[in-house]
């Protein structure tokens, strides 16, 4: 079952490098080493493993690419907004080009605000329902918003009633 949890982030994290090459910082300079900032919690250790695996896989093929990536990973024990803000600022001062973090509702607004302010690309396995007041202008969610597709299927088959089961609040 853990393989299923990490398979999707690995595919998504490989898309990370396409996003990196579109960053204004990288496009202008294309340094040999690109720092990528990330914050993980104990609950997201499977995402951290996928992130690490993707970076190692990319760096193994370094002779075929223009750059090598290295992680600037911070770990926090809980969803403490002050601690996460402090870690983000520390990583920003280290010169990161992109920021990776799993998000939950209270955390999303804070990270979206920082990444919008600093025009920092922000990659997350899944955004919560995005806030109208504070959308992430530089954010990329690896999980697409599927609610519109569900509604299209309901309309296509002209179903009058449905039972929709789900296993998380996301």
pLDDT digits (tens, 9 = 90+) for 77-112: 776 888 888 999 999 988 898 999 887 766 777 888
**At 162, phi and psi to the nearest 5?**
-140, 165
Contact 112, 139 (CB under 8 A): yes
pLDDT at 156 over 90: yes
Q: Which domain holds residue 118?
A: 2-145
Cβ-count burial 113-137 (b if 16+ within 10 Å, e if not): ebbbeeebbbbbbbbbeeeeeeebe
Backbone angles phi and psi of 120, in degrees to 5: -105, 125
Assess if residue 77 is contained within a domain.
yes
For residue 157, being part of any structural domain is answered with no
Residue closest to 119 by CA, chosen among 23, 33, 55, 10 = 23
Flag whether 170 is in a domain. Answer: no
Overall number of domains in the chain = 1
Task: Give domain status of residue 167, yes or no.
Answer: no
Is 18 part of a structural domain of the chain? yes
Considering just the CA atoms, what is the radius of gyration of the chain in Å?
17
pLDDT tens figures, 34-86: 899 998 888 888 889 999 998 888 888 766 777 888 899 998 877 688 888 89
Q: Is residue 162 part of a domain?
A: no
Q: What is the CATH number of the domain that holds 58?
A: 3.40.50.2300
Q: Is residue 139 part of a domain?
A: yes
């Amino acid at each position: 079952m853990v393989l299923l949890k990490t398979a999707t982030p690995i595919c998504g994290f490989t898309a990370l490098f396409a996003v990196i090459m579109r960053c204004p910082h990288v496009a202008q300079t294309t340094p040999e080493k690109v720092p990528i900032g990330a914050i993980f919690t104990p609950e997201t250790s499977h995402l951290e493993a996928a992130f690490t695996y993707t970076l190692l896989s990319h760096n193994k093929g370094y002779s075929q690419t223009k750059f090598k990536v290295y992680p600037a990973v911070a770990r926090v024990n809980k969803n403490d907004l002050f601690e996460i803000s402090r870690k983000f600022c520390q990583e920003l001062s280290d010169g990161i080009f992109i920021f990776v973090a799993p998000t939950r509702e209270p955390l999303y607004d804070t990270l979206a605000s920082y990444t919008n302010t600093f025009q920092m690309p922000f990659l997350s396995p899944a955004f919560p329902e995005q806030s109208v007041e504070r959308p992430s202008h530089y954010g990329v969610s690896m999980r697409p918003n599927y609610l519109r597709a569900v509604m299209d299927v309901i309309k296509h088959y002209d179903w009058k009633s449905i039972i929709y089961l789900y296993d998380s609040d996301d």
